[in-house]
């Protein structure tokens, strides 16, 4: 039976590693919380699987260890920050907190961040906003990276560009987190390491031929991810990816035209207060009616029932909070060199 770990112990373990790597304590705790939250919800490529990479970025100096974002613009409902390469999860939590406070006063607030470091699992940030009766939107791109081709092309031009949103209902919130590529770089790297094919022909090789071989992304010349929708309907993912790039890099005023600084993110955060629009009670009544109606839809063959976005992740989170987190098998081995280097012991399994 796979080992399970206390979420509290995992959070402290990640915090200790980040502290020993030189990150300020408050930032370490926020980053650790978000990474463990990703694993709690089942996003195993975007939870503690990222920690070894973050520690390497701290060691090299590519992730800034201390300080605050520089304010470029600050209006009541519109803010622009230079993240100064600070940890992305910490910047995103800080932005969502401020945007929620401003939305209570002004109905909505949008914050964009240039020069953030990577921000981990988008779905992991949003539940606290919905618990305050608000709707949240979070998206990012990486102007230093390119792994996805535009529909009809065979050269990578942009990143998977995830888009996430969440809103309250009379039960669990709806939480969506969707990449504008057919899969993620994290999954491709994992499958390549494990020498396994992808579940479908989600990539193009350098000649533009669809393939399930993740190795084409590590060849020279490299292959490319297909947009969400794949060969047949990739025009949809391609269009949405351009939208995400516009929300993130273009709105911040810094993107692919500017010098590359390494693994990072341009970030878009928006919080909307339904009380300023149709009213909070009516908002929840309408979101609940639609969610309940979807769940009540008779399932087609192969499905036991219809779910709404985020439902499986929230159920997994509740189960793992009680029974412990089941980490993907490669995560702890990836951290062993850092445990030895930084003098931090592995958490005991439950």
The pair of structure tokens assigned to 226 is: 């297909």
Mean pLDDT of 77-98: 98
Mean pLDDT of 39-68: 98
Would you call 34 helix, strand, or coil by DSSP? helix
- What is the torsional sign of CA 158, 212, 309, 30? negative
Can you give the pLDDT at residue 248? 98
Mean pLDDT of 151-165: 97
Q: What is the pLDDT of residues 284-318, one digit of tens each?
A: 999 999 999 999 999 999 999 999 999 999 999 99
pLDDT confidence tier of residue 208, bands split at 50, 70 and 90: very high
Inter-axis angle of helices 25-40 and 88-106, to 10 degrees?
90
Can you give the pLDDT at residue 2? 76
Mean model confidence pLDDT for the chain: 97
Q: Any idea which residue has 């504008």 for tokens?
A: 180
Mean pLDDT of 110-128: 98
Residue spans of the domains in the chain: they are: 7-182+226-290+308-342
pLDDT confidence tier of residue 151, bands split at 50, 70 and 90: very high
Can you give the pLDDT at residue 243? 98
Q: What is the pLDDT of residues 218-237, one digit of tens each?
A: 999 999 999 999 999 999 99
Fold of 7-182+226-290+308-342: Ribosomal Protein S8; Chain: A, domain 1 (3.30.1370)
> Does pLDDT of 3 surpass 90?
no
d(CA 262, CA 284): 42
Can you give the pLDDT at residue 332? 96
Q: What sections of the chain are H helices per DSSP?
A: 7-20, 25-40, 51-60, 88-106, 127-130, 185-193, 230-245, 251-252, 280-295, 311-323, 331-342
């Amino acid at each position: 039976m796979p080992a399970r770990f206390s979420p509290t112990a995992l959070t402290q373990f990640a915090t200790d590693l980040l502290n020993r790597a030189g990150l300020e304590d408050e930032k370490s705790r926020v980053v650790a919380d978000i990474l463990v939250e990703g694993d709690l919800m089942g996003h195993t490529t975007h939870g503690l699987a990222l920690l070894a990479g973050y520690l390497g970025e701290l060691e090299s100096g590519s992730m800034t260890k201390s300080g605050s974002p520089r304010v470029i613009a600050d209006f009541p409902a519109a803010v622009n920050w230079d993240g100064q390469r600070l940890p992305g999860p910490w910047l995103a939590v800080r932005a969502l907190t401020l945007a929620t406070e401003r939305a209570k006063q002004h109905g909505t607030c949008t914050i964009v961040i240039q020069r953030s470091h990577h921000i981990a699992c988008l779905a992991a940030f949003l539940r606290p906003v919905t618990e305050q009766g608000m709707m949240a939107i979070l998206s990012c791109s990486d102007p230093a990276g390119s792994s996805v081709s535009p529909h009809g092309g065979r050269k990578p031009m942009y990143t998977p560009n995830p888009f996430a949103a969440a809103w309250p209902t009379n039960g669990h919130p709806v939480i969506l987190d969707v990449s504008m590529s057919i899969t993620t770089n994290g999954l491709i790297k994992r499958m390549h390491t494990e020498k396994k094919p992808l579940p479908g022909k989600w990539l193009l090789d350098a000649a533009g031929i669809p393939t399930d071989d993740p190795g084409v992304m590590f060849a020279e010349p490299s292959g490319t991810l297909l947009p969400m929708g794949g060969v047949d309907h990739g025009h949809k993912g391609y269009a949405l990816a351009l939208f995400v790039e516009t929300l993130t890099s273009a709105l911040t005023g810094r993107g692919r035209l500017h010098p590359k600084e390494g693994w990072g993110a341009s970030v878009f955060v928006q919080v909307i207060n339904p009380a300023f629009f149709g009213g909070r009670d009516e908002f929840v009544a309408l979101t609940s009616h639609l969610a309940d109606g979807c769940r009540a839809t008779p399932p087609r063959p192969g499905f036991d029932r219809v779910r709404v976005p985020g439902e499986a992740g929230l159920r997994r989170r509740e189960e793992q909070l009680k029974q412990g987190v089941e980490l993907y098998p490669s995560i702890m081995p990836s951290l062993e060199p850092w445990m030895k280097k930084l003098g931090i012991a592995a958490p005991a399994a439950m």
